[in-house]
């Protein structure tokens, strides 16, 4: 299972129900046991409400108590895109037909994205039988929760990256043979990182070269740390 293509979704929302208004979308791709790419979109909250998604007071009150860095991602102070635009980006990002899509809770991220897709008239991005729930897996392998958090909690991308690391840790625990990463896999990631560095700042850089290089560096570091 660890060598499948996985997508880890994390939403920041203004509600808790199946039609919660989306404020940010984070998603991370895992291929062959390695985090390979990520997507992050802040979503214009009004555009979520315009298609019929809903806010609830208790979630808004909860946000008011969170750290300023997390709040700044959902309070409209930063550039954002309309919900259909964010979902279109997610549609481009989830390319693998057999992808396993992980939400944090069986009733949260995947369900809310499906509602949003439906509200925007966009078809499903993955097969329903490939829905996966990280909370259930972490209940089975609680040691995987010990992965240290990097970044800002309740930032959709930082959360998604953290959940992806927890997922990999849990999958390795579930399959002892995959705990030891083969040297070839690490050599391959070193090549990916070197290529990302070579492109950053050149004419081939689409504007995210430095971010991509940093992501690849973190992936390489994690693999090396596991060997240490």
Residue numbers of the site for Mg ion (CB under 5 A)?
10, 159
Q: Which is nearer to Mg ion, 158 or 216 (CB)?
A: 158
Q: Residue 73 or residue 216: which is nearer to Mg ion going by CB? A: 73
Q: Report the nearest approach of Mg ion to the CB of residue 68 (Å).
A: 16
* Residue (10 or 216) nearer to Mg ion, CB: 10
**Residue closer to Mg ion (CB basis): 24 or 219:** 24
Q: In angstroms, what is the minimal distance from the CB of 202 to Mg ion? A: 34
Alpha helical stretches, state H, 54-182: 57-64, 68-71, 83-93, 109-119, 134-140, 156-174
> Which of 213, 212, 20 has its CA nearest to residue 114?
20
CB 110 within 8 A of CB 22: no
Q: How far is the CB of 104 from Mg ion (least distance, A)?
A: 7
Task: Give strand pairing partners of 79.
Answer: none
Smallest gap from Cβ 154 to Mg ion, in A, equals 5
**Shortest gap between Cβ of 159 and Mg ion (angstroms)?**
3
Nearer to Mg ion, 83 or 220 (CB): 83
Question: Which residue of this chain has its Cβ atom nearest to Mg ion in the complex?
Answer: 159
Residue placing its CB nearer to Mg ion in the complex, 70 or 220:
70
Considering the complex, what minimum distance in angstroms separates the CB of residue 23 from Mg ion?
Answer: 10
Residues 172 and 179: beta-carbon distance below 8 Å: yes
Q: Helices 209-227 and 183-199, interaxial angle, to 10°?
A: 160
CB 2 within 8 A of CB 171: yes
Structure tokens at 157: 């991308």
In 3D space, the residue among 66, 121, 136, 60 whose CA is nearest the CA of residue 91 turns out to be 121
């Amino acid at each position: 299972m660890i060598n499948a293509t996985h997508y880890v979704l994390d939403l920041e929302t203004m509600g808790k129900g199946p039609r919660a208004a989306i404020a940010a979308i984070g998603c991370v791709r895992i291929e062959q046991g390695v985090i390979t790419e990520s997507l992050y979109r802040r979503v214009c909250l009004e555009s979520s409400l315009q298609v019929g998604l809903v806010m609830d007071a208790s979630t808004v009150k909860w946000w008011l108590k969170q750290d300023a860095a997390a709040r700044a991602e959902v309070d409209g102070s930063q550039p954002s895109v309309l919900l259909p635009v964010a979902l279109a980006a997610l549609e481009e990002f989830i390319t693998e037909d057999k992808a396993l899509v992980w939400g944090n809770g069986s009733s949260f991220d995947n369900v809310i994205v499906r509602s949003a897709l439906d509200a925007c008239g966009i078809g499903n991005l993955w097969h329903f039988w490939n829905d996966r729930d990280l909370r259930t897996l972490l209940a089975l392998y609680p040691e995987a929760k010990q992965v240290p958090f990097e970044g800002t909690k309740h930032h959709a991308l930082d959360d998604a990256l953290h959940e992806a690391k927890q997922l990999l840790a849990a999958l390795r625990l579930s399959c002892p043979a995959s705990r030891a990463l083969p040297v070839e896999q690490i050599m391959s990631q070193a090549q990916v990182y070197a290529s990302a560095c070579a492109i950053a700042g050149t004419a081939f850089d689409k504007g995210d070269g430095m971010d991509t290089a940093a992501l690849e560096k973190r992936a390489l570091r994690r693999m090396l740390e596991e060997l240490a």
